[in-house]
Chains A and B, each alone.
Chain A
Amino acid sequence: MSNSKLGLDPGVVSACRQAARQIAEQVSEQVAGRTTVSVERSVTRLLGVDGADSLDVPLPNVLVDHVHDRGGLGRGVAYWIGNAMLQTGRTPQQIAESVSAGELVLTELDLAEERAIHTRVMEECAARLKDISGRFEERRAMRERLGDSPAPLRYVLTATGDVYEDVVHAKAVAEAGGDIVAVIRSTAQSLLDYVPYGPTTEGYGGTFATQANFRIMREAMDEWSEQHGRYVRLSSFCSGLCMSEIASMGAWEGFDNMVNDALYGILYRDINIVRGLIDQRVSRMINGYFGVVINTGEDNYLRTADAIEAAPSVTASQFINHQLAHESGVPDSQIALGDAFEIDVPVRNSLLYQWAQAQLTRELFPDCPVKYMPPTRHMDGNLFRTHASDTLFNLVTIATGQGLQTIGVPTEGIFTPHIHDRVLGLQNVDYVFNAAHDLGEEIEFKQGGVIQTRAQEVLASAHVLLERIAQTGLFRAIEQATFGDVSRSVDAGRGIEGIVTVEEGYFNPVVELMREVSYA
């Protein structure tokens, strides 16, 4: 922090980190001893279970519900699969199919010796993780061979509802210089306690995240990347009620980035706090393990709370999210903390405040890429004004060296962008990034000026907030509407019925294997 342009007090910064560590540790303790149906389903997926039954119920759901209905989930689904593998000699996929056909009841089989079950499942899971890691290695090699773009990476959203239209939009994005394509999910998918199966061509406000859709996009983008000699990354959403399952699917299909923040679902989708944080822990573990960059969602708070008043809560949340990600074994280089350019247009000196906040985030987390989001909340349908706001946003992005920028589109707030809207947005980015390429290195801020003062004030308030949360705990803070002006209580919310208390002998092979690596 000795070269802080903002004159930040290193003592305050380290006190913030300390408080965030405490908060993260408390969270770990509070969610310990429990698993969820979606965590268990992600175990089945990482053991190779895929497909759906004749009613379109995904086999991971069939299997986990089968065990849960018979009171066995407290042991972990892996225990029952492992036992069935030993007793029947079948693979996890064959076991799921037999269960689905009603030919096999896992809890009625003879029980093998626990040690043997554990060993058998760990072998199976390790082999599967090795397969996925191999695919990631190939992908890393491809990225290196084709060349990766320098930061800030241009992150672009598509959302047609039809995966085949998304492919067309994604190619237009790539052509215009986009580095990461994220297919927005259909609205309401976050509340489904299963992941739909197969390719989809109907969705609202987005396209369903399914493994088949992931594959279609990945193949199309890989083909484009090979043809044009530039690697295009893909992103999706490990959020909602199936965070860890989508992490498993994304890993298998070679996704590079994932939005991965439980707080978003808790605040804005009313998902139960405990459910969300358990699912987040495992999904981040999976993303961390395979080298996937996660995006956190602090930017969203500024859509429901005022960007000037709520700035300290964004900074405080970044500290907490950073610690929670570390606890799941995600290294700094894979933590893209959320931030946004959301101050209302008529505010005098808004650019200076935005600049202060963006620079603050960079200085507090120098090794994290940061996901910087464009203005949305105050964009009023006047697409020309929005385009002008986006220009200032692009200027702050390049001058403060953000790692990853979601590009703004002129038609923000009107509809999901049309194919040319994104191209116009990317052209704006190109112009500004090039014109102001080295601006950041030329700039020092006036001591005690507007920018320094603002950043120091935000940090000081974030510190007060973090100390308070360290006293009360994160759950209580969420109850008190600390983030985004939204209040959620710990014993309510969607998905609460999917939390399961673990019993003696519970084990989760995915967590065990990933912990071994991350904490070696």
Chain B
Amino acid sequence: MPRSVDLTAVVPYADHLDDGLVQLSFTLPVPYSLAARKAALELAGKMGFEDPEVVHYQQLTDGYTYFVMYGRCVQSIDFTELQGDGFDIEYMSEEEIERFAEEQVGRAIVVVGASTGSDTHSVGIDAMLNLKGYHGHHGLEGYRSFRTYNLGSQVPNSVLVAKAIEVGADAILVSQTVTQQNLHVHNLTELVEMVEAEGRRGEMILACGGPRVSNELAKELGYDAGFSKGTYPHHLATFIVRELASRVAAG
């Protein structure tokens, strides 16, 4: 008789249901030694792992030791609480988006995007906006229903906002690819503040994306949505057309 998952108390799955095994790796700034190994085991215990095991450890340089470990996680999550609104992933295809936009919006949707601040990487914004897109998915430039402006990288927030106002943008997209010490949070917050200061927050959809950006973080910072790794242009387009349509409907 196969056991079924208890969705009110989910733990990680490795080999058997409810074994709770988790892989972790980290470096400690201590010399390579048996004491270092012991330190890693105790630390994993403090993290809440039971039966921690060091499967590999090595010296990186004097005073630094790297560990690969396993441990059994005894914390669990009630998955049944995480159902419902906001958790369903349902995207439209490019064709469906075009049709939806035509019917529900009925005019060109203007999108302005940039990689802002000191970030020199345009790879994210290019993947979303440029015709070529990413992995065979067109960027928004290739959609009939969108008119796009890709300002590239290292764009000051003020320039991005000015451009958005100039062209009457329906949505602003901000990309933050490389960041350190939460620089992206500062950059993203500044943009929201500027849009608000211009009194345009209500007219524009604000979305941000990047490897360190999540939907949760984005909303916390005052954006309408955030997109992380694995996002394709049609994911973003789905969000924009739906959001815009609901705003149009709301008048």
- What residues make up the interface of A, taking CB atoms closer than 8 Å to B? 161, 168, 171-172, 174-176, 186-188, 190-191, 203-205, 268-270, 303-304, 306, 344, 346, 377-378, 380-381, 413-416, 418-420, 423, 485
Chain B residues within 8 Å of A176, by CB: 60
Residue of A205, A377, A418, A419 near B178 (CB, 8 A) is A205
Classify the interface of chain A: helix, strand, loop or mixed: loop
B181-223 residues at the A interface, CB under 8 angstroms: 181, 183, 211-212
A269 touches B64 (CB 8 A): no
Q: Tell me, in angstroms, the Cα distance from A212 to B122 when the chains sit together.
A: 31
CB distance from A430 to the nearest CB of B (A): 13
Contacts of B93 in A (CB 8 A): none
CB contacts (< 8 Å) of A161 on chain B: these are: 180-181
Q: B residues within 8 Å of A by Cβ?
A: 25-27, 58-62, 64, 66, 118-120, 122-123, 126, 130, 132, 135, 152-154, 178-181, 183, 211-212, 229-230
Q: Closest 9 CB pairs between A and B?
A: A188-B118, A172-B61, A171-B61, A172-B60, A420-B66, A381-B229, A205-B178, A187-B118, A175-B61
Please, which residues of chain A bring their CB within 8 A of the CB of B212? Answer: 415
- Of B26, B135, B178, B179, most buried by chain A (CB within 10 Å of CB) is B178
Contacts of B153 in A (CB 8 A): 268
- The CA-CA distance from A381 to B27 in the complex, in Å, is 20
Contacting residue for A380 out of B25, B152, B229, CB 8 A: B229
Interchain residue pairs with CB less than 8 A apart (16): A168-B64, A172-B60, A175-B59, A188-B154, A204-B179, A205-B179, A269-B120, A270-B152, A304-B122, A380-B230, A414-B211, A415-B178, A416-B180, A419-B66, A420-B26, A423-B60
Are B27 and A168 interface neighbours, CB within 8 A? no
A423 to B58, CA, bound (A): 10
Chain A residue numbers with a CB within 8 Å of B229 are: 380-381, 413
Chain A residue with the shortest CB-CB distance to B126: A304
CB distance from B229 to the nearest CB of A (A): 4
Closest chain B residue to A418 by CB distance? B27
Q: Residue on B with the closest CB to A413?
A: B211
Least Cβ–Cβ distance between B139 and chain A, in angstroms: 12
User: Which residue of the partner chain B has the closest CB to A420?
Assistant: B66
State the Cβ distance, B23 to closest chain A Cβ, in Å. Answer: 11
- Give min CB distance, B217 to chain A, whole Å: 15
Chain B hits for A377, CB < 8 A: 123
B14 to chain A, nearest CB (A): 15
In the bound complex, do residue A172 and residue B132 qualify as a contact, i.e. CB atoms below 8 Å apart? no
Find out whether the CB atom of A344 lies under 8 angstroms from the CB atom of B123.
Answer: no
Which residues of the partner chain B approach A420 to less than 8 Å between Cβ atoms?
25-27, 60, 66
Beyond A187-B118, A204-B118, A418-B27, list 15 extra A-B contacts (CB 8 Å): A168-B61, A168-B64, A171-B61, A172-B60, A191-B154, A205-B120, A270-B152, A346-B135, A377-B123, A378-B135, A380-B229, A415-B180, A419-B64, A419-B66, A485-B132
Complex Cα distance A187/B184, Å?
13
* A171-B61, A175-B59, A306-B132 known; A268 vs B120 contact (CB < 8 Å): yes
Complex Cα–Cα for A204 and B177 (A): 12
The CA-CA distance from A306 to B152 in the complex, in Å, is: 18
- A416 and B181: CB pair below 8 A? no
In the assembled complex, the CB of B130 is this many whole angstroms from the nearest CB of chain A, namely 8
- CA A191 – CA B211 in complex, angstroms? 24
**A-side contacts of B27, CB under 8 Å:** 418-420
Q: Shortest CB–CB separation between residue A164 and chain B, in angstroms? A: 13
Residue of A nearest to B177 (CB): A413
CB-CB < 8 A to A381: which residues of B?
211, 229-230
Q: A306 CA to B130 CA in the complex, in Å?
A: 13
**Would A204 and B183 count as touching, CB distance under 8 A?**
yes
A463 CB to nearest chain B CB (Å) = 25
Residues of B within 8 A of A270 (CB): 152, 154
Q: Please pick, from B119, B122, B135, B211, the residue contacting A344 in the complex, using a CB distance under 8 A.
A: B135
Q: Which residues of A contact B25 (CB under 8 A)?
A: 420
Q: Is the CB of B126 within 8 A of A187?
A: no
By the criterion CB–CB under 8 Å, are B60 and A419 in contact?
yes
Measured CA separation A187–B212 after assembly (Å): 17
Residues of the A chain whose Cβ atoms lie less than 8 Å from the Cβ of B178: 187, 204-205, 415-416
Partner of A415, one of B64, B66, B211: B211
With contacts A269-B154, A419-B60 known, is A204 near B181, CB below 8 A?
yes
Residues of B near A175 (CB, < 8 A) are: 59-61
A residues less than 8 Å from B119 (CB atoms): 187, 205
Q: Min CB distance, A240 to chain B, in Å?
A: 10
Tell me the smallest distance from the CB of B127 to a CB of chain A, in Å. Answer: 9
- Which residue of chain A has the shortest Cβ distance to B127 in the bound complex? A377
Contacts of A186 on B, CB cut-off 8 Å? 118
CB neighbours (8 Å) of B58 from chain A are: 423
Return chain A residues, CB-CB under 8 Å to B66.
419-420, 423
- Distance in angstroms from B196 CB to nearest chain A CB is 25
A485 to B59, CA, bound (A): 44
With the chains together, A373 CA to B163 CA distance in Å? Answer: 36
> A171-B61, A381-B211, A485-B132 known; A204 and B180 CB under 8 Å?
yes
A427 to chain B, nearest CB (A): 9
Residues of B within 8 A of A306 (CB): 132
Q: Which residue of B lies closest to A184 (CB)?
A: B178
